[in-house]
Chain A
Amino acid sequence: AQTVTQSQPEMSVQEAETVTLSCTYDTSESNYYLFWYKQPPSRQMILVIRQEAYKQQNATENRFSVNFQKAAKSFSLKISDSQLGDTAMYFCALRVTGANSKLTFGKGITLSVRP
């Protein structure tokens, strides 16, 4: 079974600054994929970034980057130059390779960007 843990329930950051959201996971599988999804107040679930476990290079998408530490089973999201529109709930998720595998979500973290 897979588990995803987001231990910080909420964080706050000043606009234009950098913030890091933590996520740890557990799986006995060696091949898997990790995701960060964003859920703004509009409720829509939006994919932020994706990381393949077999890749050593950390994924980046514009202002969003991850710090993937496979041995430590850690997958944190760094948001640079925070913008007001980044205010949302952020979910870390894990899916193992293989047919019919489930996407397992963490409990989420609420990020508030202050003007």
Chain B
Amino acid sequence: DTAVSQTPKYLVTQMGNDKSIKCEQNLGHDTMYWYKQDSKKFLKIMFSYNNKELIINETVPNRFSPKSPDKAHLNLHINSLELGDSAVYFCASSELPRGTDTQYFGPGTRLTVL
């Protein structure tokens, strides 16, 4: 069983479109995250939710909107896609939002905006 899963794994779309990436974890964790890995492989956190409540919101354009329908799911919706949004997006989860907790990552979604 996959612990943290994301769909789709690959997403190719045109500039200006709206797209969503879904994430699910079956680890029973309370906290979920979205990270962006750019073309230079640099990983940066975008958002974090704890028990469906937004707890970390980095400086991300408001075209990006996370949604957590329940604590096992955290989806990422992106409006009006731009070329610079091309990246790999990782979902992760941890039991608690505290430093001690190890984060477990999904397989990533490679988004390509043409």
Contact = CB atoms under 8 A, between A and B. Distances in A.
Interface stretch (B42-50, B64-72, B74-82): B42-50
A33 B43 contact: no
Interface residues on B, range: 20 to 34
A44 B107 contact: yes
Given A50-B102, A98-B99, A105 B42 contact: yes
A96 B108 contact: no
A100 B47 CA distance: 11
A32 B40 contact: no
Interface of B: 33, 40-45, 48, 50, 55-56, 58, 88, 90, 92, 97-100, 102-105, 107-108, 110
5 contacts: A45-B105, A47-B103, A99-B97, A99-B98, A105-B42
Give 3 nearest A-B pairs by CB, closest first: A45-B105, A97-B99, A105-B43
Given A98-B99, A108-B42, 6 more contacts: A43-B107, A52-B100, A97-B99, A100-B97, A102-B48, A107-B42
Interface of A: 31-33, 35, 37, 39, 42-47, 50, 52, 89, 91, 95-103, 105, 107-108
